[in-house]
Chains A and B, each alone.
Chain A
Amino acid sequence: MVLTRENAVNLTLAVLLLAVPLAASALGQPFYITLATRIAILALAALGLNLALGLGGMVSFGHAAFFGIGGYAAGILASHALSGEPLLFDLSGTAQMPIIWLVAVIAAGLVALAIGALSLRTSGVYFIMITLAFAQMVYYFAISWPAYGGEDGLSIAVRNQFPGTNTMRPLNFFFVAYAVLLAGIGLFALIRASRFGAALVATRQNEIRVAALGIDPYRIRLAGFVISAMITALAGALYADLNRFVSPSMLAWHMSGELIVLIILGGTGRLFGPLAGAALYVAFEFALGGLTERWQFFLGLILLGVVLFARGGLLGLLAGKTKHG
């Protein structure tokens, strides 16, 4: 890897995210470990969305649905593992993260396939509103389905387990989330550089040209949308385990908005944009939240400023314009 300015900034971000919880652990400040874990997980969720939005140009305003489905996968499987009641037929719940992740990713992938197949028949504003509406449908379903807590949500009594580590220790759980984030970033980089990535990025730039070459833009977009949803769902499963709680708020449209905000704060389409954005967002929340109860008011002003005047996001400021191969 060439050490460009962007790579240097990326590396610094990755190292900082690792250093903060290590230092916090040494200083006996577990709160900061949780903060860093939250950053890693939100970054992963936004990374998933960035595949659809940044690479594919699909402004999905419904990714909270996949985030929440991931969360509920963790919550539901854990609750069945605890109660011992079978989930479906003879299948029982589980508290093993790898299995939970697999279920979360598959479930979200299937839902994304259905939502994407319909939404991607449209484009532009229609796509934005339809993804929002379908996510809202999932949200209302979660609220009105009483079996798993309905409006009140579902607690996870004991954090789910990862083989070979005690996830109840905050630092260990951070390591799990951090490793998954790095794997996600690696996967994103691989996909972006691949034939599929080329087709996806080209479809964003010029759909008609791509079709004239014989590549079906709809299928490329749909595949991109599904992969994007799967990554966000994985983050959702981790988020539920971080909070040991899952509720319809994970599915709410504010969440969809926040995921987009993370990408824009960081820099659209960039590999480390979601991480930069998540770090900035959680830092805002923490710093402003400490000063005033009304921190969202100021977040709104800052966001407005970024959209109107600083469209490259944080990485745009730090690392300069993007270069294209």
Chain B
Amino acid sequence: MVEPVLQIDNLVKSFGALRATDGITLDLKPGEIHALIGPNGAGKSTLIHQICGTLKQDSGTIRLAGEDIGALSAAARARRGLGRTFQVSSLAPEFSALRNVMLAVQARQGSSFGFFRPVMRDRSLIDPAMAILERVGLSDRARLPAAELSHGERRQLEIAMALALQSKALLLDEPMAGMGPEGSKRLTGFLDTLRQEAPILLVEHDMDAVFALADRISVLVYGRIIATGTVEDIRRDPAVRTAYLGDHA
């Protein structure tokens, strides 16, 4: 059996009397896209916060490539190889698209304490950043400030920054959010090519995208995972049908 890249065991988080995360166990294997679905309020955001380190779990472990990262800061987790995108695009708005990706390249190279060499003359930052913008189809928008990009372009830029980190695992938080049908289709095709680069934990509402991409699906309801399995398993699972998919399937 292959060792999972990301392994979450028995994670618990309560807010007062509410158990937002109620003993979640979840893993992400090399080369797969593992989709996490669930109705609003199921606790997806809380779970993402804990995986990324912006919220501390009450108990349970989070391992990345075998290493316990459950007590590390968000930045330390990212350095260990956990890349992410945000549900609402989160960029440096004054920076150009290029400089946003360059910042990610710089972060991957591990040194932000260079004080004298101008980044805009640093080929070791510019070239990889341009290559990634090319891949996500943003190279002709490279010089525009992130704030002036369209919604869809900002989503693409988010993914470009995650790619630039060359992470061990990617956590994509609703990458399709707010994309039109055309954009969603294009993005689905693109994500399909990424799984060999890094396995993806995909949190998504767009069921077409989920069914097209996922190798496995986990269904989160009221802080618990009620089912995990292949697309077919999940489509057939009666508990899932009543709890969640009822009107979709």
* Chain A residues near B (Cβ < 8 Å): 190-191, 193-199, 201-202, 205-206, 208-217, 220, 223, 324-325
Contact = CB atoms under 8 A, between A and B. Distances in A.
B106 interface: yes
A216 B120 CA distance: 22
Given A209-B91, A212-B84, A213-B161, A196 B103 contact: no
Given A211-B74, A211-B78, A214-B78, A196 B95 contact: no
Contact of B94 (A195, A205, A216): A205
B95 A205 contact: yes
Contacts of B54: 208, 211
Contacts of A213: 75, 78, 103-104, 107, 161, 165
A195 B113 contact: yes
A209 to B, nearest CB: 5
Interface in B68-95: 73-79, 83-84, 86, 90-95
19 contacts: A191-B115, A191-B116, A195-B117, A196-B112, A198-B95, A198-B99, A198-B102, A199-B103, A201-B92, A208-B74, A208-B86, A209-B90, A212-B74, A213-B107, A214-B76, A214-B78, A214-B107, A215-B75, A216-B76
B114 A202 contact: no
B90 A206 contact: yes
Given A194-B114, A194-B117, A212-B52, A199 B106 contact: yes
A198 to B, nearest CB: 5
Nearest to A322: B94
A215 B103 CA distance: 9
Contact of A324 (B52, B94, B112, B116): B94
4 nearest A-B residue pairs (beta carbon)? A214-B78, A214-B79, A195-B114, A193-B118
Contacts, number: 113
B96 A325 contact: yes
B108 interface: yes
Nearest to B171: A212
A217 B117 CA distance: 20
Nearest to B98: A325
Given A206-B91, A324-B94, 9 more contacts: A190-B115, A190-B116, A190-B118, A195-B122, A195-B125, A208-B86, A211-B74, A213-B75, A217-B75
Contacts of A194: 114-119
Given A196-B114, A208-B54, A214-B75, A324 B106 contact: no
B242 interface: no
B78 to A, nearest CB: 3
Contact of B90 (A190, A193, A196, A208): A208
Contacts of B99: 198, 325
Contacts of B95: 198, 201-202, 205, 324-325
A217 to B, nearest CB: 7
Interface string B101-141: 01110111001111111111010010000000000000000
B23 interface: no
A209 B95 CA distance: 13
A223 B112 CA distance: 11
- Identify the interface centre among A194, A195, A211, A215: most chain B CB within 10 Å of its CB: A195
Contacts of B106: 195, 198-199, 215
Given A199-B106, A212-B52, A214-B165, A193 B120 contact: yes
A216 B75 CA distance: 5
